[in-house]
Structure 1
Amino acid sequence: MEDFLTSPNWMEQPVLLQDDVGSIWQLHKRRIDLRVVRRLLKDPRATVILGECGGTHPRLLADSERSGFWSKVKNNYQGPGGDWSTGRFLAHEFRTHDDRRMLFIEEHC
């Protein structure tokens, strides 16, 4: 994925992302609940993207990073189910036309 001018949280609808293999992903829900974040991180069928620098520099989160990443997110989530004042992660769910799911996690410094 290429870099963005702003995070998906602030893009106007419809928010469409194209991955490196040409799949088109559409924003399904912004600022998802922490329980959904956990579920998607643990689901091997879901694609997980880490948007570094406030979501503007997306990269695929490797399978080897996923389990350890949950421990970072669970106590530092600023969306529903987390703590807005201390959180540094915010997540959104994207889907393809064939209902594949992508977890897009923004990391704010």
Structure 2
Amino acid sequence: MKTLVPTRLAVVIYGIVIALFGLIHFVHADLMVAAVPFPGGKIWLYLTGIALLLAGIAFIINRYVKPAGYLLALYIFLVIILVHTPHAFEDLPSLTMFMKDVALMAAALVIGNTGK
């Protein structure tokens, strides 16, 4: 069966979205800091913002894709466990964020598996 959307294009789009998530960590750190489950909240937001930016760039330029995909999946897994799981089933928006991050983690694993 012929592929309708080239995999490379999908990876670039995913990379752009992940890089934008990284930028959001810097622009909206004041709003996001309440969700950080560790002391030093803003520092963690800035560090993870840098990591998200680097993963997005790795996907876009097609370099270090395998480690970037696996490390991104690990980071998202930790967000799922530490941030979303405690509140996932309290209301629909929390459940939606939980499911979105599970899908983003799965996509990062697929990209990591197909990358070089």
Fold similarity call, TM over 0.5: no
Superposition TM-score, scaled by structure 1 size: 0.30
Superposition TM-score, scaled by structure 2 size: 0.29
Rg larger for: 2
Structure that is richer in strand per residue: 1
State the structure with bigger RCO (CA 8 A, min sep 6), 1 or 2.
1
